[in-house]
A and B are shown apart, each in its own frame.
Chain A
Amino acid sequence: QFQLVQSGAEVKKPGASVKVSCKASGYTFSNHGFIWVRQAPGQGLEWMGWISGYDGKTNYAQKFQDRLTMTTDTSTTTAYMELRRLTSDDTAVYYCAKAGRMTTVPNFDSWGQGALVTVSS
């Protein structure tokens, strides 16, 4: 049974960074990748990027290129998403989901529970 468990809610000040984790279990970590998606309050889903669990290769949405880093730790089967220089527009629920090992076609069949990140002074 695939399971993704994310870290808890965070409150950050503008200009700070946040790092959200996504612990995977129930499958071979290196056979898949991860995507990160965010959802601002009352808004739709926004794809942020993808990372391979096989070789750590990444691909980020252009709007996040300069302040987003995705990593994985194969020893703990955990994926991480770090977003820097936060503003109030980054207030959202951040989701991880299981993706392809080498590509990010949207067959995202397992999702984490989401982590609320609130940016407020």
Chain B
Amino acid sequence: QSALTQPPSASGSPGQSVTISCTGTSSDVGGYNYLSWFQQHPGKAPKLIIYEVYERPSGVPDRFSGSKSGNTASLTVSGLQAGDEADYYCSSYAGSNTVIFGGGTKLTVL
């Protein structure tokens, strides 16, 4: 089972918006609406920022939004801030009680 495909890097200036993609197959991303996004700062544990494609946990700013079309999901970060600089991982349910992660995207705020 290969990892979901994410771009290795993304960048944007403060205040701008950036979108990170996550591509899988009909057996994972395309087959279920159980798609999450995690933010990870260096040396820290991952933090859930989006679940079930577009839902935000309590406390996560609405600058973070998620969507999905077919086998590709997207995370959009609007109004970029310095603190958004981190690694971002998508994760999808893949059937038979298994989960798959994306390879991760390093977001740089210029």
Contacts and interface: CB of A to CB of B under 8 A. Distances in A.
Interface residues of A, number: 23
A113 B104 contact: no
Contacts of A97: 46
A107 B104 CA distance: 17
A81 interface: no
B93 A109 contact: no
A34 B47 CA distance: 15
B98 interface: yes
A35 B101 contact: no
Contact of A44 (B35, B36, B96, B103): B103
A106 interface: yes
A50 B97 contact: yes
B97 A46 contact: no
5 contacts: A44-B103, A45-B101, A47-B91, A105-B34, A107-B34
Interface of A: 35, 37, 44-47, 50, 59, 61-62, 95, 97, 103-109, 111-114
